[in-house]
Structure 1
Amino acid sequence: MRIWLALLGMVAMMLASASAHAAEAVAISGQPFGVGQITVSFQKADFGDPVDSNSFAIHETDNRIFYPAFEKQRVLGFLQRLAGIDGVTPPQRLTVYFLFTGNEPLNITVSTPTPQTFRITPTPPPHESMLTAMELLWWRKYHEAFREQKEWANYPMVMETYLTAMLSRRLGLPMPPLSKSEMEDQDAFSPDQSVFVLMNSDKVRAAEMRSVMMDQSITSPADLPTPRPINWTDIIAPRPASEVPIEPLAKAVPPDCFYVRFGKLSNYLWLNKLLEENGGDLGMMIAARGVKLGLNEVVQKQLALKQSELSELFGDAVVADVALIGRDAYTREGAAIGMIFQAKQNDLLANDINKNRKDSLRLNKKLGAKLETIKVAGQEISALTTPDNTIRSFYARRGDFHLVTTSRTIAEQFITLNADTDSLGATAEFLQARMRLPLSREDTIFCYMSSQFFQGLYSPQYRVELRRRLRATTEIELLKLARAAAMNEGLPDLKDETLIAHGFLPTSYGRRPDGSHVVEIDGKLQDSLRGAPGNFLPIADVAVTSVNLEEARDFERVREFHVSHWSQMDPLMAGIYRFKLDDKGTERLTIDARMTPFVEEKYGMLTDRLGPPVKRQIVPAPGDVAMMQFVLKGDFDNQLYHYAVGLQDVPFPVDSYASGGLLNTLRMMQSTPGYLTAWPKPGLIDRIPVLGRLATPDQYGYSQFPFGLWRREYNGFSTLSFHREILQYVTPQLALGEDEHSAQARIHIGDISDANVTPLANAMAQSWAKRGSLSNVRFFEEISAQLGVPVDKSKDFAENLLAVEFVCPLDGKYETVGEGAGERWISTAWGNKKLEFEANFLKWFRGLNARVSMGEGQVVLNAEIDMWREKPEPTLKLPTFNFFGGGAAKPKAEKKPTKEKAEEIPPPVTQGQEF
């Protein structure tokens, strides 16, 4: 440590003893890189959103500067970060740490975004340790900059992970110590974290990139037999004694497929219109996102399904029933998914499907599309495909049932299915589900995921192929990044072997167990076995006939975990019914979702701490716009404790809301007109110490905590709030009441579209949206700074790298401004004083009541959601039920004035409903 401090001191003395511009800069030459540091002051013109977005750049006339790290410096910076105002108060200086090549003078322009020019002459280090100290300082700052970006990123940290690992290998620098979250990411492939592999989460993608770059991934040839599957415990689902009515469509569906039934085509159209009103993605109904995946369009194109005007006008007269089915929902990578129809008029439906297929063939001839008749299980079906799987559509018929699917395996299952013995509708599980959510409910949507469906996701085929396709995606991303980094450093030969030899690619690149590899076709990178990213061959269609030792051990660990801790997969079911509440466009969705059978022991602390379902509840106080409550067991007794968090609908100072910083968080909590209450006392609240002792209440039951927190004991309730007046108003009105149904958790949210708390909700959503907007721009500029991609091309590179489209969550448009060294990205929404932001959920949300009950071998969620809806032109897009990933569709098209027939909405029904 003393040596390290001495070396840093020598660096500081060199900086202090230089002249004029050199007083703010130093460059020490070395091989293969020298290390430099330069500090500039901000200009007044820099203050504002471009500075917040890190619109910094450093350029050298001969392109000799690489891998810069930018550090903003403020007076009392630590205290400002603690207060959460470091993103508001303009920084005073910017220090840039960088690598460079050569010994000639460096002609540097630093843009903040105001350009400032410098000429620095590199000097040899007084001794080698000086270069080492400067290099380690740069390395530390480089990694700190990436960690800061990780806090902002709403995309996989693929590029940052690549650069850190690549430079560590090439320069012999130690990998920086992992943060707590990074250490958790390292365990992304452990058996107890296998759900993250199923979800293809960002942490899994980063872990795989790190593993490949460090030559730690699975690469040896597959020469062992496929592992035996997990020995699951059978679901106890006795067949009903009497006949249970089920829909005929269920007997045409394989039992290992998820099943989302719409009942009639008009219900399917309703969901699509709902998606269209909210950007094509149910997740967008809550919050705007910074990326758009276009999954609806991708799957629609892949299946070659486009709803005709005939179907829109006469859909229910042509189609008796329709469902979305699949073996998985990996629509971001390439899913085994399909649509199944029961026809009322076979010829009309078949003609419509075949017309779509011929139109798709004509429009995609340049992609190599071909339409042919193939034999599957001895029967002829129609296959429409392209070499890269952009189109992969199998059309099979079986009596009145028509299936269009991306998966040949699903098509074969459909053809060979014994409807009376082997179908989903023939299983005891499904019959039990239809007893609980009977057909007579006439649900708008009925969802069912069988235990066989979940078991399939944990099969050897899925576990092995999920990791192999993750490796395939990673290697495609690696090659794009390696080529860009090598070109930036001036390497003329970009062949794979050259990139490996120079350290831009790991030595294990291209060595995979199944022999697949990256190929380039028409200038686009894709996998030799799976096709183009985003349209990979469905996992159900990939034959995993052998594995290597590492893959066998990996699956064995997964098997041991599930046999010991999670030996049974519980089926899920949900019924959703919609009806009209008024003539102003307000509708209500009632949701009845169940997991049954449910084994409590598998869910550990979640079920250990919850009390049993009870009808007793805390009644919301007058003026509460929201309340969430739950029942917990006592730590040392059998007493049940009721806890509730309430929010009063009173004006809220929106200016007090700001993201980040301990003090800002505290200020926001202090300003929130909410309270936390518990019954009976003494409970958890009463055990909160105040400066080492328990708070003693005064004669009115009030006691004060540090930071302005108050507690009041009143009528058996113990209540906390930052507002004494809230306690004074709420506590006399707190009471227990009886609900008609038992539950362990309940939530109520009123109509917040025009309430006193609406500005707060909108301000929070706008803050998150702005953060997402800035995050994207930071990524574009990072690509330009680290890989040398021209500024105006960096957005295209980012989208090509991650196979997404970046959009501004503030509804602005990304564009470049400035010229030369000062060119940078902005959003047109920034600084727009006329911008009227409205959070997505405020546009439609009008209220929620929900309760959860765990007991008697099942988990039940009952919910009522009130929503206000527009009525756009009826169009059809395939909904994406992306159970294991995210995605979005294209933005809403501009509405055209039309005279539209009023949509018929069913009236309220109570049969089979719990609300």
Structure 2
Amino acid sequence: MRIWIALIGICAISLSVAEGADAVAISGQPFGVGQITVSLQKADFGDPVDSNSFAIHETDNRIFYPAFEKQRVLGFLQKLAGIDEVTPPQRLTVYFLFTGTEPLDITISTPTPQRFRMTPTPPPHDSMLTAMEMLWWRKYHDAIRDQKDWANYPMVMETYLTGMLSRRLGLPMPPLTRNEMQDQDAFSPEQSVFVLLNSDKVRAAEMRSVMTDQSMTAPADLPVPRPINWSDIIAPRPAAEVPIEAMAKAVPPECFYVRFGKLSNYLWLNKLMDENGGDLGMMISNRGVKIGLNEVVQKQLALKQSELAELFGDTVVADVAMIGRDAYTREGAAIGMLFQAKANDLLANDINKNRRESLRLNKKLGAKLETITIAGQEVSALTTPDNQLRSFYARRGDFHLVTSSRAIAERFVTLNQETDSLGATAEFLQARTLLPLSREDTIFCYMSSQFFQGLYSPQYRVELRRRLRATTEIELLKMARAAAQNEGHVNFTDEELIGKGFLPTSFGHRPDGSHVVEVDGVLRDSLRGAPGNFLPIADVDVTSVNLAEARDYERVREFHVSHWSQMDPFMAGIYRFKLDDKGTERLTIDARMTPFVEQKYGMLTERLGPPINRQIAPTARDVAMVQFVLRGEYDNQLYHYAVGLQDVPFPIESYASGGILNTLRMMQATPGYLTAWPKPGLIDRIPVIGAMAAPDQYGYSKLPLGLWRREYNGFSTLSFHSDILQHVTPQLALSEDEHPAQARIHIGDISDAQVTPLANAMAKSWAKKGSLGNVRLFEAVSAQLGVPIEKSKAFAEDLLAVEFVCPLDGKYETVGEGAAERWISTAWGKENAEFEANFLKWFRGLNARMSMGDGQVVLNAEIDMWREKPEPTLKLPTFNFFGSGSSKLKEEKKPAKKPAEELPKPKAEGQEF
């Protein structure tokens, strides 16, 4: 009751405080709390409002931690309808903390500057300050949760701020949402895969645990836990000799193995990655961050190839593969490139020339090139203290290994090729029986059971969490320094930051004794190096653990012993060939997991039917169809289900993101259908459908929400369009496929189809959201941490170790001056500008099928892709494959061009797929 009385008092005060705005400011210690509501002008409507380009400034920098709330007439109904982001807000309310009791000279940028003065008043009674503080706290969290819907990056800053302010002000953390509660369990054994992937939810969970002093900080004084007792893989050795490549016998069995067969195949993949910012995920979506992993790895290994490798590489290199203990390229991977030379001296000379050049270019980083002894063998080591360069070069006969991991180099030089190598294991021989060498795959990928087991070893589980803690502490220190300086505490020591609550009390306490150090103004970990180039986990000796770490691993071990006691090997063969003379090529993919134990996958395998040849045939206008076979829950009957999309015009104006009504409108406008055979099936068990199941004489039933159903020829089919049912249902039929499967997918060429505008509209909507989300982050960095607005993008990129790019293909830049300066993208305001989704630039079709049974999972796919043809070219002879070019190359008057690429032909009829 006292809180409500206080709020009424606040409302009364706010009517008379500031001219031109509703405002109130209650003074207090250490902070007072303020609230201002202003009206937005017409000039503010549009993209800047959508991006939350709002700012509040005070002449003496006395305002901190603002939360902005846009207000609309009938806002709840607009949000329900999904038009919250396209209808301009009418008012803006800012909730903030401030210091002192003197008048506040405030400028609110919306982004149009609105200036006025307000005078803080002491609270009539204590409950009023408490009520204002709690109101600000609730609005602050509402703003953070709103930003979470826009973020395509880890919520590191937001998690830090809520934890830091809760600690300093004694405020309770708000109740977690369902998704946040699930994120809290990111370290549970059941979700250990998220730890292996170092997903964003894991990074946020670690930040929360550190900020609440719940992380594992006690000194390591216990022995390393015993490893998981994995069940043996049953892979009988083939009766006859299986041909395998010589390179497989140079690979340790605990490494993943990606073989390219020849250097030109590797260069093709490498070029494809470079075209997409070092991230193949950019081929699918227009993402707002660029990580550049390919470039980082090449630089670390000193293996950045020149274009001349495309001319002469295959004459010098007989075989090439990528191997590694893990693929943590974003943090620092244990990875390497393995070459089999045709001309040993030429390859060795080229690699060594590159290493000397890299040494010269990185002298300022403390680079050194030395010969070290590993297991009695001489190995070249090129390193820098921060691990930006970490390259071990070892030779063994015709095989040359360049790796970031000393542990991998040691295994390479000591490996017994006939008894202890990957090529000597029974499971690899079985893999080469299923995907024989004669296929001549462009890429052959193999991940052994030992590789997966290594990721769940005590060393990897413990060190993964320790390096996550190391990354978190570096991020914490960057943000704590910025927040403290923003509040006027300049050059605080770490101890002072802890004492003032900017850092948690557990900061700097780690089981292995490592800590954050600063070298030449750059923060790094004392054991692991700089973020993004951490010491590979395989090279970190985990000799002891603390009690919390031991218990954490014991939970993981018990889970796998009882539920997941065997790691299944994975293999895939990818063959690339020319499809036509227009630049279209096809990738055929044969991926398998075998041996495979169905029981541990639970409900997924229990509900799937057996692989069968029968399928639902796509109809004439289907541009896409996904279908699968399930067992009946009670009768064990097999049911076929399919979702089809018709290639007919789609009203783009019906598509908009967000809102229940918009989602329903989009579904109603989508020219698709869902069908099942035989009837009755799962469709008829949906309550609202079963209650209105009586069809008319033509088999039609009208259902709620504009949905139609038709029973025809044994099929039960749903659609929001009765004309689609009329067209589709007579064509629905079962057909025989040559290959048995449980799931199938077909997507036609949608680069120039009637549904192409739909695909582009959806991609553009997501891209715009990503573009706006990035700018929201830049604005928040400035508003919350006090980083100057023009430096906020660089701060965010340094904090998260990414490069922010506009998914709309625009460029981020600042506009305005003074308090009105803000970030925009040059792509904004160009609603009619041509936009093409990334996947539409190359995707020309997909056919895939999946089967599970007989101890294996098999995925076969054909992907058609279009790529621009390289120009016919001529190059000067040289063997500098991986460097920056020879002196002769620099003397060329004309830029060198690449030769036209020769693609393999399709495999002969009947040849292995």
Q: TM class by shorter-chain length? A: over 0.9
For the residue of structure 2 that corresponds to 1:383, the secondary structure is: strand
Distance in 2 separating the partners of 1:313 and 1:772: 40
Where does residue 890 of structure 2 map in the other structure? Answer: none
Matching residue's letter, 2:596? F
Where does residue 50 of structure 1 map in the other structure? Answer: 48
Matching residue's letter, 2:107? T
Where does residue 442 of structure 1 map in the other structure? Answer: 440
Matching residue's letter, 1:718? S
1:331-342, aligned counterparts within 5 Å?
331-342=329-340
Determine whether 1:487 maps to 2:485: yes
Pick the aligned partner of 1:717 from 698, 701, 715: 715
Distance in 1 separating the partners of 2:224 and 2:440: 44
How many Å apart are 1:694 and its aligned residue?
A: 3.1
Distance in 1 separating the partners of 2:20 and 2:128: 18
1:729-744, aligned counterparts within 5 Å?
729-744=727-742
- Contact 2:589–2:859 (Cα < 8 Å) also in 1: yes
Matching residue's letter, 2:34? G
Matching residue's letter, 1:104? E
Where does residue 163 of structure 2 map in the other structure? Answer: 165
How many Å apart are 1:877 and its aligned residue?
A: 11
Distance in 2 separating the partners of 1:380 and 1:147: 55
How many Å apart are 1:910 and its aligned residue?
A: 3.9
**What whole-Å deviation, never above 9, does each CA across 1:303-340 have from its counterpart, x for those lacking one?**
00132455332111100000000000000000000000
For the residue of structure 1 that corresponds to 2:88, the secondary structure is: coil
Where does residue 203 of structure 1 map in the other structure? Answer: 201
- Contact 2:18–2:116 (Cα < 8 Å) also in 1: no
Matching residue's letter, 2:540? V
Where does residue 65 of structure 1 map in the other structure? Answer: 63
Gaps of 5+ in 2: 883-893
- TM-score (ref. length: structure 2): 0.97
Distance in 2 separating the partners of 1:447 and 1:231: 26
Matching residue's letter, 2:413? I
Where does residue 11 of structure 1 map in the other structure? Answer: 10
**What whole-Å deviation, never above 9, does each CA across 1:509-564 have from its counterpart, x for those lacking one?**
00000000000000000000000000000000000000011100100000000000
Distance 1:898 1:843, change over 3 A: farther
Distance in 1 separating the partners of 2:172 and 2:306: 60
For the residue of structure 2 that corresponds to 1:323, the secondary structure is: strand
Where does residue 462 of structure 1 map in the other structure? Answer: 460
How many Å apart are 1:605 and its aligned residue?
A: 1.4
Where does residue 567 of structure 1 map in the other structure? Answer: 565
Pick the aligned partner of 1:234 from 226, 229, 232: 232
Matching residue's letter, 2:13? M
Matching residue's letter, 2:351? I
Pick the aligned partner of 2:574 from 573, 576, 583: 576
- Contact 1:277–1:872 (Cα < 8 Å) also in 2: no
1:405-484, aligned counterparts within 5 Å?
405-484=403-482
For the residue of structure 1 that corresponds to 2:413, the secondary structure is: helix
How many Å apart are 1:834 and its aligned residue?
A: 6.0
For the residue of structure 2 that corresponds to 1:224, the secondary structure is: coil
- Contact 2:3–2:127 (Cα < 8 Å) also in 1: no
- Contact 1:444–1:577 (Cα < 8 Å) also in 2: yes
How many Å apart are 1:274 and its aligned residue?
A: 2.5
Where does residue 635 of structure 1 map in the other structure? Answer: 633
**What whole-Å deviation, never above 9, does each CA across 1:6-60 have from its counterpart, x for those lacking one?**
33333223324x2562760000000000000000000000011001000000000
Distance in 1 separating the partners of 2:187 and 2:831: 47
Determine whether 1:770 maps to 2:768: yes
**What whole-Å deviation, never above 9, does each CA across 1:658-701 have from its counterpart, x for those lacking one?**
11111111110000000000000011111233399233211111
Distance in 1 separating the partners of 2:247 and 2:457: 26
For the residue of structure 2 that corresponds to 1:472, the secondary structure is: helix
Distance 1:910 1:594, change over 3 A: farther
Pick the aligned partner of 1:105 from 94, 103, 114: 103
Distance 1:732 1:674, change over 3 A: same
Matching residue's letter, 2:60? D
Where does residue 185 of structure 1 map in the other structure? Answer: 183
Where does residue 132 of structure 1 map in the other structure? Answer: 130
Distance in 2 separating the partners of 1:486 and 1:19: 30
Distance in 1 separating the partners of 2:753 and 2:838: 16
- Contact 1:272–1:877 (Cα < 8 Å) also in 2: no
**What whole-Å deviation, never above 9, does each CA across 1:384-422 have from its counterpart, x for those lacking one?**
000000000000000000000000000000000000000
- Contact 1:510–1:518 (Cα < 8 Å) also in 2: yes
1:642-657, aligned counterparts within 5 Å?
642-657=640-655
Where does residue 320 of structure 2 map in the other structure? Answer: 322
- Contact 2:3–2:128 (Cα < 8 Å) also in 1: no
Q: Percent identity?
A: 83
For the residue of structure 2 that corresponds to 1:55, the secondary structure is: coil
How many Å apart are 1:149 and its aligned residue?
A: 0.2
Matching residue's letter, 2:8? G
**What whole-Å deviation, never above 9, does each CA across 1:258-291 have from its counterpart, x for those lacking one?**
0000001111122123233434321111112111
Where does residue 909 of structure 1 map in the other structure? Answer: 907
Distance in 2 separating the partners of 1:60 and 1:308: 54
Gaps of 5+ in 1: 879-895
How many Å apart are 1:872 and its aligned residue?
A: 4.1
- Contact 2:367–2:383 (Cα < 8 Å) also in 1: yes
Matching residue's letter, 1:498? E
Distance in 1 separating the partners of 2:881 and 2:790: 33
For the residue of structure 2 that corresponds to 1:863, the secondary structure is: strand
Distance in 2 separating the partners of 1:780 and 1:310: 41
For the residue of structure 2 that corresponds to 1:12, the secondary structure is: helix
Distance 1:910 1:11, change over 3 A: farther
Where does residue 117 of structure 1 map in the other structure? Answer: 115
Where does residue 613 of structure 2 map in the other structure? Answer: 615
How many Å apart are 1:638 and its aligned residue?
A: 1.5
Distance 1:363 1:138, change over 3 A: same
For the residue of structure 2 that corresponds to 1:225, the secondary structure is: coil
Distance in 1 separating the partners of 2:870 and 2:485: 49
Distance in 2 separating the partners of 1:325 and 1:899: 31
For the residue of structure 2 that corresponds to 1:10, the secondary structure is: helix
Where does residue 891 of structure 2 map in the other structure? Answer: none
How many Å apart are 1:4 and its aligned residue?
A: 3.7
- Contact 1:688–1:694 (Cα < 8 Å) also in 2: no
For the residue of structure 1 that corresponds to 2:258, the secondary structure is: strand
- Contact 2:627–2:643 (Cα < 8 Å) also in 1: yes
Distance 1:588 1:80, change over 3 A: same
- Contact 2:650–2:671 (Cα < 8 Å) also in 1: yes
- Contact 1:441–1:911 (Cα < 8 Å) also in 2: no
Distance in 2 separating the partners of 1:495 and 1:810: 42
For the residue of structure 2 that corresponds to 1:357, the secondary structure is: helix
- Contact 1:513–1:547 (Cα < 8 Å) also in 2: yes
- Contact 1:641–1:678 (Cα < 8 Å) also in 2: yes
Pick the aligned partner of 2:535 from 519, 537, 547: 537
How many Å apart are 1:898 and its aligned residue?
A: 7.4
Distance in 1 separating the partners of 2:910 and 2:145: 52
- Contact 2:621–2:647 (Cα < 8 Å) also in 1: yes
Distance in 1 separating the partners of 2:307 and 2:186: 47
- Contact 2:18–2:118 (Cα < 8 Å) also in 1: no
How many Å apart are 1:707 and its aligned residue?
A: 1.3
How many Å apart are 1:914 and its aligned residue?
A: 5.3
Matching residue's letter, 2:237? R
For the residue of structure 2 that corresponds to 1:591, the secondary structure is: strand
- Contact 1:675–1:720 (Cα < 8 Å) also in 2: yes
Distance in 1 separating the partners of 2:17 and 2:532: 55
- Contact 1:615–1:741 (Cα < 8 Å) also in 2: yes
Distance in 2 separating the partners of 1:122 and 1:629: 65
For the residue of structure 2 that corresponds to 1:119, the secondary structure is: strand
Distance in 2 separating the partners of 1:416 and 1:912: 42
Distance in 2 separating the partners of 1:769 and 1:50: 16
- Superposition RMSD in Å: 1.6
Where does residue 882 of structure 1 map in the other structure? Answer: none
Matching residue's letter, 1:546? S
Bigger drift between 902-911 and 145-154 goes to 902-911
Bigger drift between 397-406 and 262-271 goes to 262-271
Distance in 1 separating the partners of 2:256 and 2:896: 37
Distance in 1 separating the partners of 2:719 and 2:4: 48
